Structure 1
Amino acid sequence: MPKIAVVGTTAGWSSEKLTATVAGHTGFHLLVDMNRCVLDLERNTVWFENHDLSTMDAIMIKKIGARYSPDLLDRLEYLRLLESKGVPIFSAPRKIMGVLDRLSCTVTLREAGIPMPPTQITESPEQALRIVKEYGEAVFKPLFTSKARGMEIIRADDHPEEAIAAYRETNPIMYIQKKIELPDQDLGLAFLGGEYLTTYARQKTNGAWNTTTNSGGKYAPFTPQAETIELARKAQALFGLDFTCVDVAETEEGPLVFEVSAFGGFRGIQEASGQDAAQLYLDYVLQRIGHV
Structure 2
Amino acid sequence: MFSGSIVALITPLNQDGEVDYQSLQNLVEYHIEAGTDAIVAVGTTGESATLTVEEHVKVVNKTVQFAAGRIPVIAGTGANATHEAVTFSRLLNDSGIAGCLSVTPYYNKPTQEGLYQHFKAISRVSAVPVILYNVPGRTGVDLKPETVARLSKLENIVGLKDATADLSRIAEHRELCGKDFILLSGDDETGLEFVKQGGNGVISVTNNVAAKDMATIYNLAKQGKFDEAETINQSLVGLHKGLFVESSPIPVKWAAYHLNLIQQNHLRLPLTSLSEQSQQVVKAALEQANLA
TM-score (norm 1): 0.33
Q: Which has the higher contact order (CA 8 A, sep 6+)?
A: 2
Q: Larger % of strand: which?
A: 1
TM-score normalised over the length of structure 2? 0.33
Give the number of the structure whose residues are more often helix, by fraction.
Answer: 2
